[in-house]
Amino acid sequence: MLFTVVGPGRAGLSFAGALTASGWRCVRTLGRHDDLRSAAADCDVVLVTVPDDRIAAVALAIAPGRAVLVHASGAKGLDVLKPHPLRASVHPLMSLPDPATGADKLRRGGVFAVAGDPVAERIVNALGGRPVTVDDDHRALYHATAAVAANHLVALCAQVERLAAQAGVPLAPYWDLMETTLENVRRSGAIPSLTGPAARGDTSTISLHLEALPTDERTLYLALANEAARLAGRPPYRDPARTVSTEALAVTPTIPVPVPTIAELRARLDAERRAGRTVGFVPTMGYLHDGHGSLMRAAAAANDVVVASIFVNPLQFAPTEDLASYPRDLERDTAVAGANGVHLLFTPDVTEMYPRPMLSTVSVAELSARWDGASRPTHFDGVSTVVTKLFNIVGPCRAYFGEKDYQQLAIITRMTADLAIPVEVIGCPIVREADGLAMSSRNVYLSPPQRAAAVVLCRALDAGTAAVVDGMRDPDAVASVMRSVVAAEPLATLDYAAAVDPHTLEVPTALGSHTRLLIAARVGTTRLIDNCGVDTGSSRPLGTPT
């Protein structure tokens, strides 16, 4: 068979050497300065061994001829070889460090992922290897697995090298340990081969390790300790030293354990409490954004175990509202929760939370009737009821709520005080997009023009704030300043704008030194809310202990 190599790098020259040694004939090798047009004219196979992001351009530069175009990428499908009708790929599941070693390794009977034209198998057979067919749908996953098996293992070995050197212990015994471990895993599988403190649930030893480890080694240690714990069916650990220092990442990332049932969550948290660990709780409806993330980070900063719930609570939606279409993405939510230090993700379904029709309701009078309660009469009873139930399930020391839903925070704060629920309710500041729009899961409903118009809510709050700071004390006058800003935006329809007492949410006869500005408006069919505090003296924000 005659072949041409395009891309005379490590892979290309390794293949050229190996195929030549197997009796194939290399017509030529072409590099980046050669004319590629007739590369496919006078051979059976053109091996395209250029970097992945250049394959498509190289394929385009070659005029279709009688040869099959074959790439050696692990991650790319066959599409990149358009417009050639004869395409294939051959990816050796091995590293090719240099042409001589590479040519030798290619002929040692290894595994090759093949796809497309049967010539791929002929190449592998010529080399004496084992072909494994990997279709385009599984290509990236196949390659990711290879990256984990080869590159990530090397990264782990490098950590072993560094730590052994720092401990002043020779590397050889650790090599023996690694080799034996790999043999065990090959023989018995990963989970049966687990040993060590993470698998045993030996938290005090892990804490000891984390204290001893150099700061920049902790993230990798903890990520893998948590993975070992997950494999062993144990909750993850939190680095008490908090290795990451930037504000946005001021938590040690975790791999949250999804817990769908009340019984399992109670069992896990009972064990945590028995071990003297504190529990912080962040209730959400999911489709997480950085507003939720900020609550999780606050919980991670003050508690040993962080639980977040994701439950789109039917009780707080009226029949005309968006219960069915409320955005949901559990996979992404799990990633966001993990990046923000959540250990346990409570993900009950509706039948788990409400196996029977609910005959019991928790209702916070007066506070629930005004503002949002006037437009959504059953909403806050649904919220108070589910939050009470979640508090009873989780039993947290502290629970975190966003000021974004200020009336909700006021209601929950009052409810826990009225009913002596043993939890500290902590209010957290609103997280906003760069243009000032308060982050909300419902912002995805907005079309681009509506998204641009939505910023009118915080502009109205800014105008109201400026009026109060300038000395305006008549709450109706401040509300009308806010109303006029919204009136100028044709895509927005105001629901209410008000300047209220931050605790009772009532409109006072004259504004005191602490005021909350509240606003709600529809942009298209999406109802948005926002608020801000205007304090002209010292204040006791909602959610702080009284």
**Minimum CB distance to ligand AMP, residue 280 (Å):** 13
How many Å apart are CA 519 and CA 390, to the nearest integer? 28
With binding defined as CB under 6 A, does residue 531 bind ligand AMP?
A: no
CB nearer to ligand AMP: pick between 167 and 444: 444
Binding mask 467-506 for ligand AMP (x = CB under 6 A): ----------------------------------------
Q: Give Cβ neighbours of residue 490 (< 8 Å, ≥ 6 apart).
A: 453
Total Cβ atoms within 10 A of residue 43: 22
**Nearer residue to ligand AMP within complex by CB, 93 or 455:** 455
- CB nearer to ligand AMP: give 44 or 403: 403
292 interacts with ligand AMP by CB under 6 A: yes
Q: What single-letter amino acid sits at 358?
A: M
Distances (CA, A) of 346 to 235, 336, 539: 13, 14, 34
User: Binding ligand AMP by CB under 6 A: which of 40, 93, 390, 439?
Assistant: 439
Q: Does residue 441 interact with ligand AMP by CB under 6 A?
A: yes
Closest Cα partner for 523 from 461, 446, 448, 458? Answer: 446
End-to-end CA distance of the chain, in Å? Answer: 85
- Token pair 């240099």 in the structure block, residue: 98
User: Least distance (Å) from ligand AMP to the CB of residue 433?
Assistant: 9
- Angle of helix 172-188 relative to helix 153-167, nearest 10 degrees, comes to 150
Considering only residues 197, 236, 253, 402, which one is a binding residue for ligand AMP as defined by CB under 6 A? 402
Q: Which residues contact 136 (CB under 8 A, 6 or more apart)?
A: 77, 78, 79, 115
- Write down the least CB distance from residue 251 to ligand AMP, Å: 16
CB of 261 to ligand AMP, least distance (A): 21
* Site for ligand AMP contains 405 (CB under 6 A): yes
17 vs 70, 113, 119, CA distance in Å? Answer: 16, 20, 18
Minimum gap (Å) between residue 436 Cβ and ligand AMP = 11
Judged by CB under 6 A, the residue of 209, 218, 404, 414 near ligand AMP is: 404
Is residue 289 part of the annotated active site? The answer reads no
CA distance 115 to 145: 17
| Residue 294 sits in the site that holds ligand AMP (CB under 6 A) | yes
Return the CA Rg of the chain.
Answer: 31
Which of 96, 102, 100, 88 lies closest to 131 in space, CA to CA?
Answer: 88
Range 30-37, long-range pairs (CB < 8 A, 24+ positions): 30/4, 30/5, 30/6, 31/7, 36/6, 36/61, 36/62, 37/61, 37/62, 37/63
Peptide bond into 314 cis (omega under 30): no
Residue 384 binds to ligand AMP (criterion: CB under 6 A):
no
Task: Indicate which single residue of 440, 450, 515, 531 sits in contact with ligand AMP (rule: CB under 6 A).
Answer: 440
Tokens of 367: 């506070």
Find the binder of ligand AMP among 92, 99, 235, 291 (CB under 6 A).
Answer: 291
Considering the candidates 143, 292, 343, 379, report the single residue annotated as catalytic.
292
Nearer to ligand AMP, 483 or 527 (CB): 527
For 74, the token pair is: 């692990």
Q: Which residue in the set 431, 457, 520, 523 belongs to the binding site for ligand AMP (CB under 6 A)?
A: 431
Is the Cβ–Cβ distance between 531 and 519 less than 8 Å? yes
Please tell me the distance from the alpha carbon of residue 37 to that of residue 35, in angstroms, as a whole number: 6
Of the candidate spans 164-172, 174-182, 287-295, 350-358, the one that interacts with ligand AMP by CB under 6 A turns out to be 287-295
Q: Does 425 bind ligand AMP (CB under 6 A)?
A: no
Q: How many binding residues for ligand AMP (CB under 6 A)?
A: 17
String of contacts with ligand AMP for each residue 236-275, x by CB under 6 A: ----------------------------------------
Considering the rule CB under 6 A, would residue 295 count as an interface residue with ligand AMP?
yes
State the residues that interact with ligand AMP by CB under 6 A.
284-285, 291-292, 294-295, 401-402, 404-405, 428, 430-431, 438-441
Catalytic positions are 292
